[in-house]
Amino acid sequence: MPVIGLIIFAMWVVALIDVILAEEYRVRQLPKLAWVFIVILLPLIGSVIWFIVGRPEGPPSTPGPRPTGVGEQRRPAPAEPPEYRAAVAAREDEEYRRRVRERAEQQRRKAREAGEGEAGDTDASGGR
C-alpha cells in the first residue's frame, strides 16, 4: 500500500509542476489557474484529468538558446569613414604632437602669468 501512495504522490507532484510550467496560451480546456486548483484539491483525479485533458499537446515551444557571447560569431565592425582615419593619422603624426605640446606650454605660461598678476593686484590695492 505505501508504494501506491508514493506513486500517487509522485504523479501529483509531477502534474503540479507540469501545470505551473505550462505556457498559459497552450493549456487546454480551462485556464491555467483553474488547473492548478483542480490538481491541488483533487490529487489523484486532478492529476489524471490534467494529463489526459488539460496538458498541452506536442513538445513545449521553447525559444532558441540565448546568446552568451562565448564562441559566437561577431559582426564585423562598420567601415570607418575617411575623416576618422585622417584624424587618427594626424594624432600619430609627430608634427601634430609637437604643436600640442607647444600649445599646452603656452596655456601653462598664461595661467602662471594670470595667477601672478592677480596676486599683485590684490596686494597693491591694499585689499584682503
Residue 29 resides in a domain: yes
CA distances (Å), origin 20, targets 38, 53, 67: 12, 16, 26
Please give the pLDDT value at position 105: 95
pTM strictly above 0.85 = no
Residue 59 resides in a domain: no
* Nearest-10 Cα torsion for 85, 90, 91, 97: 180
Specify whether 50 is located in the same domain as 91. Answer: no
Under DSSP, the state recorded for 39 is H
Specify whether 50 is located in the same domain as 90. Answer: no
Residue 65 resides in a domain: no
Q: How many domains does the chain have?
A: 2
Which of 37, 43, 53 has its CA nearest to residue 11? Answer: 43
Is 56:23 a contact under the CB 8 Å cutoff?
Answer: yes
Range of the domain at 22: 2-54
Residue 47 resides in a domain: yes
Cα–Cα dist 27/50, whole Å: 10
Please give the pLDDT value at position 101: 92
Along the 128 residues of the chain, how does pLDDT read in single tens digits? 688 888 888 888 888 888 888 777 777 778 888 888 888 888 888 888 877 887 776 665 655 555 555 555 666 666 777 777 777 777 777 788 888 899 999 999 999 998 887 766 555 554 44
Residue 66 resides in a domain: no
Please give the pLDDT value at position 128: 46
Residue 74 resides in a domain: no
Residue 40 resides in a domain: yes
Is 18:10 a contact under the CB 8 Å cutoff?
Answer: no
Domain's final residue, options 38, 54, 70: 54
